[in-house]
Structure 1
Amino acid sequence: MSLTQLLRPHAWELFSKKLRDKVDRLHYVGFFTPEDALARNMRLVIGKEGSLAFYWLVDESDGVIADVKFQAYGPISLIAAGEIACELVLRKNYDQASRISADLLDQHVRDKKDIPSFPKQAYSHLNQAIAAIDQASQQCFDIPYTAEYDLTPIEHDFNEIPGGIPGWQDFPSAQKLAIIKEVIDKEIRPYIELDAGGVNVLHFKDDKEVVISYEGSCVTCHSSTGSTLTAIQQILRARVHPSLVVIPEL
């Protein structure tokens, strides 16, 4: 073994802390049987890709994934991808699940927004998880689902920057707008797209008002002026500056 190999960090150290914590406390390992599905009056759906398999119990009245487990045989990164995917699809319907991307899996367990949670050599396992999700979703196409959602899919687990981004008040308006758009692109839009919705920044006014517009299902969704709007404002205040106020253009 060369000196370079001896000094190279172990792959475990290349994962984010949030990801390592998930692997240390796995919640979704296992499987369901047809008998389990019958007892709970659910459809058993199994999506497989290579050595990764997802087991969904799907409510046939609305397409919601009521419970989920996975089995994986392989490296830690594959097991981690399975665990994170299960956490994201649980209590969503199969249409929402089909919109999950490999990038969203990675973002879900990042410690810092600009640093991937998985090392580059493990990205294939994220894609493997997405392929298994797609296979499971395709088995549900005959189940009706609602296209209107009352709860926001945006995650609320984020770390605040005390006082906001250093020097924020001194930035020119164009730079402030660019930062706000970047945060929305990376931390908000991917989750909203799970519900076939969209969000755009229209204006940045009076050095604190962020005017947004919704697209797709968000236009008619009640949470667009409730929980989703609150989540967007909380994230921008935590990531950018606590003085920001988000206003939807309806």
Structure 2
Amino acid sequence: MTVACVGVALINLMLVHLVKSNLLNSIWNTSGMTPYAAPKKPTVDEVHNILQRHSALIVHFSGAPKGSGVERGHLYPQDLHHVKNGNAMGGVSCSVVCPTDVFHGDNRNAMGCIGLVLDLTESNSLVAVSPHDCGSIEVDGRRTVEREVNISAFDVEKSITNRQPCSYNEWVLRNFKILGVFAVYPFEISVQSKLFRPEDAPDYLPTNESVIGLGQTNLTSVQRQFPDLPVYSFHQGRLIGVPRHSDIYHS
């Protein structure tokens, strides 16, 4: 081993010793340097209390965000089964929805009608919250943001109350748990179909090309697809499928 290698090894051993003895932070503090601190997040109970005040659910919708999963060959219900089977614990995009929200037409408050109801397993499960699109990105198959920042209970509340009437909010969750399935009228899903080509169409138009469009399912079919999960919904401004909201999110 060369002298240079021995020197590097000794430095590494010293750093390990400093970290273990908690002396490294002291050196940083006295030198004016600031050690890395993980972003602060609200407690799970704080998030549950806010959700309960609004009878809100955290839902990862099929096809969200904006058709995600299509490029991997995942449409409903495969995209939700992909998440349910633990293949997306690195991060998914969600919307927090309330019983009076709209789920059809141009004024909808979510990017879908069918999804998985999620919950945090710890404070750090919460990656980002925003009353609008938070600009999440996909990196190596996981949904995340460019830079995590501190999140307060007030930020969580604001992501629900400050959402625009005809838009959706976005939360990003990782290391989450699945509590059930959410399904609401008009039960729209993304489907793949063949592009219609009239017989007298010009030769230069594509043939047998698949396109992604909107289809519909129903509550019974959703229950058959996820027989081991409870199904929740909204109807006439009320949460249905459970006696109390606190039965879903326990504080």
Q: TM-score range by the shorter chain?
A: under 0.3
Q: Which TM-score applies when normalising by structure 2?
A: 0.23
Compare the two structures and name the one with the higher helix fraction: 1
Instruction: Name which structure has the greater RCO, CA cutoff 8 Å, separation 6+.
Output: 2
Larger radius of gyration: 2
Compare the two structures and name the one with the higher strand fraction: 2
Q: Which TM-score applies when normalising by structure 1?
A: 0.23
